[in-house]
Amino acid sequence: MDDEQIQHGRQWLETLLALAGLNSQVHVDADKLLTEGSCWLTIDDTALSSAQINALTGEGGMALDAIQYLANTTLNLGRPEESQTAYTIELSGYRVRRQAELQALAEQAVQHVRDTGEEYEMVALSAAERRQVHTYLKGFDDLETFSRGKEPDRRLVVRPV
């Protein structure tokens, strides 16, 4: 990922917001770069009303997930997989809060599997959230993860190796 991709992502999101009638700046959050090839784009909410923030976030983060999906699909179109950027769209701390919730859910799954020796099927998560949990649990050598089922009921499963 290079600076050009990051700035292109920022400009794309600012344009999308402007087309929706929301004049908000987008900041690149370097502190939240989780892995190489990922980029957090944070929507500045200081000029947004609570109704606008709620509309952009959507119930259970669905609208924010949709914007993030569009960003990743559009901005990576035609790029080889190894040069694609994983964009995360943040608004009002939603992703940070959700990331903490996902980590707690993952730790609950780890504890269950280690205590019982049985696999654990997590609640339904979006594809992006499943990917986050898969990445987080890669650090546990005694466990493996995979996804089972079809959308919208696709589930992440954790089991002993």
For the segment 127-135, the average pLDDT, to the nearest whole number, is 90
Q: Is 89:27 a contact under the CB 8 Å cutoff?
A: no
Buried-state track 101-121, b at ≥16 Cβ within 10 A, e below 16: ebeebbeebbeebeeeeebbe
User: What's the pTM value of the predicted model, to 2 decimals?
Assistant: 0.80
Does 120 lie in the same domain as 88? Answer: no
- Dihedral pair phi/psi, residue 108, rounded to 5°: -65, -45
Tens of pLDDT, residue by residue over 6-61, are 999 999 999 999 999 998 999 998 665 556 678 899 999 999 999 999 999 999 89
For the segment 119-124, the average pLDDT, to the nearest whole number, is 96
Q: How many domains does the chain have?
A: 2
Which residue segment(s) compose the domain that 142 sits in? 98-160
Name the residue with tokens 């769209």: 89
H or E element at residue 43: strand 38-43
Amino acid symbol at 73: T
Domain end position, chosen among 64, 92, 120: 92
Does 83 lie in the same domain as 21? Answer: yes
Domain end position, chosen among 92, 109, 128: 92
Domain end position, chosen among 48, 70, 92: 92
Q: What is the pLDDT of residue 147?
A: 96
For the segment 56-71, the average pLDDT, to the nearest whole number, is 94
Question: Distance between CA 120 and CA 135 in Å, rounded?
Answer: 17
CATH number for 114: 3.30.1370.50
Q: What is the pLDDT of residue 29?
A: 80
Q: What is the pLDDT of residue 128?
A: 84
For the segment 127-152, the average pLDDT, to the nearest whole number, is 92
Name the residue with tokens 């569009």: 70
Q: What is the pLDDT of residue 2?
A: 77
Amino acid symbol at 153: D
Burial degree of 69 (CB within 10 A; 0-12, 13-18, 19+): middle
Q: What is the pLDDT of residue 63?
A: 95
Question: Distance between CA 3 and CA 70 in Å, rounded?
Answer: 20
Peptide bond into 80 cis (omega under 30): no
Q: What is the pLDDT of residue 151?
A: 87
Indicate the average pLDDT of the chain. Answer: 92
